[in-house]
Structure 1
Amino acid sequence: MKNYEITVNGKSYQVSVKEIEGEFSQESSQMNKTNDIGSVGANQSNTTPQEGVTIAAPMQGRILSVKVKENQSVKAGETVCLLEAMKMENEIVAPVSGIVLKIKVQNSQEVEAGEPLMIIVPS
């Protein structure tokens, strides 16, 4: 089980994530909705600590703005990009503190739900 502190719209949440047969579930004392973890787009199913944490698109949309650069240091909860979906801007935040290893998208790019956006190596 991995524990994260995630800030969404200025509110901090303590989230525990555990892998169950290749899928992730979440437990939290502060969250009521079971799908809120998807709003940050964290996906670690195919990564190891050396490879980093893959941030995946939580929904289909268009990248409005990538807010970080490769090799940049980020803090957990920091906005790393903006995703437009259904005419709404969605902040995608770093699920962990670390260094941005690879950015896999660019501004104005269309993405599918689950598509990798970037990889962060935890520090």
Structure 2
Amino acid sequence: MKNYRVIVNGVEYEIGIEQMEAGEAMPVQSAPQAASAPISQRQPEVQPPKTGEEVKAPMPGAILSVAVKQGDLVKKGQVILILEAMKMENEILSPRDGMVASLAVQSGQSVETGSLLCTLA
């Protein structure tokens, strides 16, 4: 048997390796099972009220036109703006009914994927 010292994550261990003959099986010795920790009785986390939903650019491109303004009421599926990407005009639609709380872009502006376009209240 050969003995080695190894360091794993800053902790030193001493291990022994025994050479086996081909086809010979050796039982595996494992570490004792750790005791399970008692389950804590956590209180459910209170989520703050959602103040608005951000509408973000699904792809890079240029804003051709903005169809709404701050304070406008929009319906789910209504066109918010037109984003040109790779010579194609893409309608960016409202994901839900709501009010346009803020606009973060204007016509002619370039945006990257994930850029904030507007926030719905």
Which TM-score applies when normalising by structure 2?
0.59
Residue 73 (structure 2) aligns with = 73
Tell me how many residue pairs correspond in the alignment: 74
Residue 83 (structure 1) aligns with = 83
Q: Deviations over 1:66-93 (max 9, x none)?
A: 0000000000000000000000000000
User: Which aligned runs of 4 or more in structure 1 are off by greater than 6 angstroms?
Assistant: none
Q: How does 1:41-80 map to 2 (within 5 A)?
A: 49-50=50-51, 52-80=52-80
Residue 6 (structure 2) aligns with = none
SS of 1:54 mapped into structure 2 = strand
Residue 45 (structure 2) aligns with = none
What is the CA-CA distance between 1:103 and the residue it aligns to?
A: 0.1
Residue 8 (structure 2) aligns with = none
Distance 1:92 1:65 in 2: 11
Q: How does 1:1-123 map to 2 (within 5 A)?
A: 49-50=50-51, 52-121=52-121
Distance 2:83 2:49 in 1: 26
SS of 2:90 mapped into structure 1 = strand
Distance 1:48 1:70 in 2: 21
Q: Which amino acid aligns with 1:73?
A: L
Distance 1:70 1:111 in 2: 19
The two structures, once aligned, show a CA RMSD in angstroms of 1.3
Distance 1:110 1:48 in 2: 32
Distance 2:53 2:59 in 1: 18
Q: Given the superposition, is the C-alpha separation of residues 48 and 54 from structure 1 closer, same or farther in structure 2, using an over 3 Å criterion?
A: farther
Distance 1:76 1:111 in 2: 23
Ranges in structure 2 where 5+ consecutive residues have no aligned partner: 1-47
Q: Given the superposition, is the C-alpha separation of residues 55 and 110 from structure 1 closer, same or farther in structure 2, using an over 3 Å criterion?
A: same
Q: Which has the higher helix share?
A: 1
- Taking every aligned residue pair, what percent have the same amino acid on both sides? 46
Ranges in structure 1 where 5+ consecutive residues have no aligned partner: 1-46
